[in-house]
Each structure stands twice: as C-alpha cells, then as structure tokens.
Amino acid sequence: MTGKTRRHASAYNSRDAVIDVEKQPFRPKHHRQHSHSSFDSDSGDDSVTSSAASYQPMLDSPARRRPRPVTGFYRVPNRIMRRLCFGLFIALVLFILTLFRFTIRSSVTQVPLEVPKTTPKPPQWESFPFLKRYHGDNPDVMGLGGDAEANATGLQARDEALPISSLAFDPYPNYTSPEYIAKYGEKRECFLDEKETMRIPLVHSYPGVPRGFPEAVMGSNEEIGIRDDVCFDRFGRLGPYGLGYSVRKGGIGAGLEGHREGAEHVWDEYPPVDFRKVDWAAAQNRCLVANGHRFKDLPQPRSNRFLSMPIGARDSNDKPHEAAPVDPELPQAGTGRLPRTAVIIRTWHDFHYTPEDILYLRSLISELSLLSGGEYTIHFLVHVKDENLQIWSDDETYERVLKDALPEEFRGMGTLWSERQMSLLYSGLEET
C-alpha cells in the first residue's frame, strides 16, 4: 500500500512540475481544510500535494479564471474633471476681461511715421495732346483761303476774320431756276399745318470753320459731297427744332441758360414752332400730294393673295379709291420725273425717346422730306420683341401697340413687325 501511494505521489509530483502554481486561480481555505481532512491517513508533504493535485480539474473553466489586471494611466473622476474645466474657463474669462480693461484705460498714442509722399500718376487721357480748337467759339471763325504754299505744307490757310453773323443754310438745288422747273416742274412749299401757316425755321450756319479745325482723318469731304467751308453751333443746328425755348412754347426746355449768343437770330425770319401741335405723318402726306407732279406715278397697290386668300377675284369694273382733291391752280410740270426714296428707321416697341432723339428725328423729317418737296419719306419699322403681344390677332391690339411705340407727333409713320412673323413668311431660311 505504501508502495502504491508513493507511485501515485511520484505521478502527482511530475504533474506539479508542469503546472505553474502562481498562475492557478485562488481557492478558498475551506477547500484546503477539506482536503486535509479527507486524507488523514496519509502523512507528510506527499499527502498534501497529492490532495491538492487530485482536487485540481483537468481543464480549468473560464468562470474560475481570474482576469489579469491591465496596467494603464490613472483616470481622474468625472466630478474632479468637470471642476477643473470650469475653473479653467473662469480663468480664461477673467484674463480676457483684464486685458480689455487695460486696453480701455491705457491711452495709446500713434507714433507719426514719415512716409514719403508719392505723386500719383496722371490719367492716361491727360497725356494726350490737348485739342484746343475742335469746338471753338464764334469769334475765331475764319474763312478758307487759297494760299497754295500753305496748303502744300499741310496747313490750313485762312483769310481775315468774317463778321460773326449766321446765315440760313441752303444745301438744296435752286428750285426756282427756269432750268430746274423746265426739267422737273415747280416745287411747292410744304407746311407743318393744314392751314399752310406754320413754317419751319431754316438751319443757320457760319461761313468758314474755327481756327485750328482739323482736317478729315480719312478720305476727302469734297469727294463725297460734304461741304467743309461752313460750321454750325447748337442753336443754329437744333434751334429750329425746339432747342432754346421752353416746353410750354413747344420746345424741349434745353438751352435756356448759359451761352446763348446768336440764338435769337435763328427765329428772325420765322417764329419758333410749337411742336405739340405738329402731326409729321399728315405733313409728309400733304407735301407728297402737293408735289406729286414732280415724281413718277406709283403702280396700283396689289394685294398679297398668299396671305389674304380672298374669295374670287377683284372685278376690273370696281371703282378705285377716290383721289385727293386737286388744286385748281395746277403747278407746272416738267419733262422729267424724280424718283422717291424711303428712309427706314428701325426701332423697337419699348424704346424710350429722349428729347435729343426727338430733336434729330424732327430735323431728319424736315430736311429730307418737307424741305425737299417730298423726295424722301421717313418711316419707322417697329420691332415687337415681346412675343406675348398678339399684334396679329386683331386690329385693336395692333393699333394700341403701335400707338404706344412712337411719340405722339410721330404717330401714323410706323409699321409693326415681329420675328415670328418673319419666320412664317420666310420659313425656308435657316437661322443664322
């Protein structure tokens, strides 16, 4: 029995040599006491070792394992951390307030710095040579001379100064000459009103040009028929059309102050015109009727059957429209007939006409149409850009848009058109 016990003890001792005691979980004391009591018959250290080894299971369960302690940094409790953060925030606020307090109380004086002053460069346009006499005053108006030596050197020769007095500018042919009347017939005067009492004052010019007036940059005025021996001022050029007198008198209200030398001389022959009562369309038509004998006969108007699509054909026995009443005093007709020219002014339906625009439109109609005896006709071609305006739906819409598109004195001289209309008429053309 003793031999068997020793053999078992040697087996247990061999197991103890393999198992590390320090790595085994902690066991309560009563287990040891129980192990001692269960093996009272055994003696010595062999009995204790064999008892402990027999109690140890073959595979230790995870529940009995003791986790190894993990070493790391010390974590400050949350309460202490909150107090530290709050104290740091209070310290920062107090520091900022202290700096702000010192800034307010301290008197800061700026140290003057001596910075060298740099002269700014002049604008680029000031470096160009100053053109002194392009728009000169009347006292320097000089006549053109014929000094060949001066002309050869490129200098404009001038004669002695002429009297400062403007003259009526008349660039038209001599309508009263027997040669003109025999060829084209008698030219009748055109008026602004139906009673033939309202005439337009003529444009006034000065003989000669201001001293130092530059030559043409390109080409020659003489080759294209432009006179370069006369000049105009603002009142002589635009005074007949409303510049220089108030709106209550029919002008535009500009040019009432400042330099007005020579302004009243424009209206010496004819008084200023009240353009509030002028109907330019009617004036053009009356001028054409009065001078119809000078021009070629117009063909009969032809209806566009592709657009109107009438039912049947017009009877040749239909009476034509009644012609305008003929003056009993028939004017003298000439052997030749003059052609007529239409001047088309393209505009749009919401264009804003300024007083300056109206001045030049008045001069265009007066000088081309009325003073020439109807050789030219001024017409407005109004572009309707708003496609939502149904100008082709009814006549009322068309007339309303056309009425609002032109100033009152130019009404009756326009025609509306739109891009949609052009796309219908010229549907085969590609867009460019």
Note the pLDDT of residue 341: 94
Distance of CA 116 to the CA centre of its chain: 43
* Distance (Å, whole) CA 192 – CA 181: 24
pLDDT in tens, 41-50: 444 444 444 4
Q: Return the higher-pLDDT residue of 60 and 31.
A: 60
User: Is the per-residue pLDDT at 61 higher than 60?
Assistant: no
Q: Give me the helices (H) in 66-105, please.
A: 78-105
Note the pLDDT of residue 298: 76
Burial class of residue 166 in the structure, from the number of CB atoms within 10 Å of its CB (0-12 exposed, 13-18 middle, 19+ buried): buried
The whole-chain average pLDDT of the chain stands at 75
User: Is the per-residue pLDDT at 35 higher than 50?
Assistant: no
Sheet holding 158-161, edge to edge: 158-161, 141-144, 209-210
pLDDT in tens, 296-326: 887 776 666 555 555 554 544 444 444 445 4
User: Is the per-residue pLDDT at 285 higher than 70?
Assistant: yes
48 inside domain: no
pLDDT in tens, 340-377: 999 999 999 999 999 999 999 999 999 999 999 999 99
Could you tell me the residue range of the domain that residue 277 belongs to?
A: 167-314+329-426
Count up the domains in the chain and report the number: 1
Mean of pLDDT values over 269-292: 93
Among 38-42, 243-247, 305-309, name the one with the lowest average pLDDT: 38-42
* Distance (Å, whole) CA 324 – CA 289: 8
Note the pLDDT of residue 321: 41
Which structure tokens are listed for 54?
């027999």
Q: Which among 282, 205, 188, 207 is positioned nearest to 240, based on CA atoms?
A: 205
Q: Which among 10, 56, 20 is positioned nearest to 35, based on CA atoms?
A: 56
Report CA-CA distances (Å) from 208 to 164, 221, 266, 327.
11, 14, 18, 43
User: Is the per-residue pLDDT at 57 higher than 90?
Assistant: no
DSSP 334: -
Note the pLDDT of residue 216: 77
Full-model pTM: 0.61
139 inside domain: no
Note the pLDDT of residue 37: 42
18 inside domain: no
Place of tokens 């009240």: 274
Percent of the chain with pLDDT over 90: 33
Note the pLDDT of residue 369: 95
Note the pLDDT of residue 424: 82
Band of the pLDDT at 220, cuts 50, 70, 90? confident
User: Is the per-residue pLDDT at 289 higher than 70?
Assistant: yes
Note the pLDDT of residue 308: 55
372 inside domain: yes
User: Is the per-residue pLDDT at 384 higher than 60?
Assistant: yes
User: Is the per-residue pLDDT at 392 higher than 80?
Assistant: yes
Note the pLDDT of residue 106: 61
52 inside domain: no
H or E, element range at 73: none
What is the residue type of 389? Answer: L
pLDDT in tens, 109-158: 677 777 778 888 888 888 887 766 665 555 455 554 433 333 333 334 44
- With vertex at residue 38, the alpha carbon angle to CA 32 and CA 39, rounded to the nearest 5 degrees, is 100
* Distance (Å, whole) CA 37 – CA 50: 13
396 inside domain: yes
Note the pLDDT of residue 64: 55
Q: Return the higher-pLDDT residue of 76 and 292.
A: 292
287 inside domain: yes
264 inside domain: yes
